[in-house]
Amino acid sequence: MQHHLTNLSDLGAEVARLRKAKGWTQKELGTMVSMGQSTLARFETGQVAEFGSRKLLRLLEVLGCSLVTTDASQAFTLDDALQQRRQDAGGSSL
């Protein structure tokens, strides 16, 4: 499923959603990525001003997701929404 995330807080919330969908606790995921539970909790709740790219990429890898970039200057159209709906039926990517 593809989500359009526009800030670090949105990204943290999406990581929390993905983690919960797998039935993992913050402590379990933190252990898998060598990150403290408190660090993961702050990230998931939007309480961090910055978050390292290595940490983020490792989290996404363990969660079975990838990071996809798009041109933010383009307006989101009805065609985009329809395409996203079709993709939602497929694999998971950010």
**pLDDT digit string, tens, across residues 40-94:** 999 999 999 899 999 999 999 999 998 888 776 777 777 877 887 888 777 555 5
Contact 92, 65 (CB under 8 A): yes
Structure tokens at 45: 């709740």
Output the pLDDT for position 92.
52
Amino acid symbol at 64: G
d(CA 3, CA 84) in angstroms, rounded, equals 8
Checking if the pLDDT of 30 tops 80, the result is: yes
All domains in the chain, ordered by first residue: 8-88 (1.10.260.40)
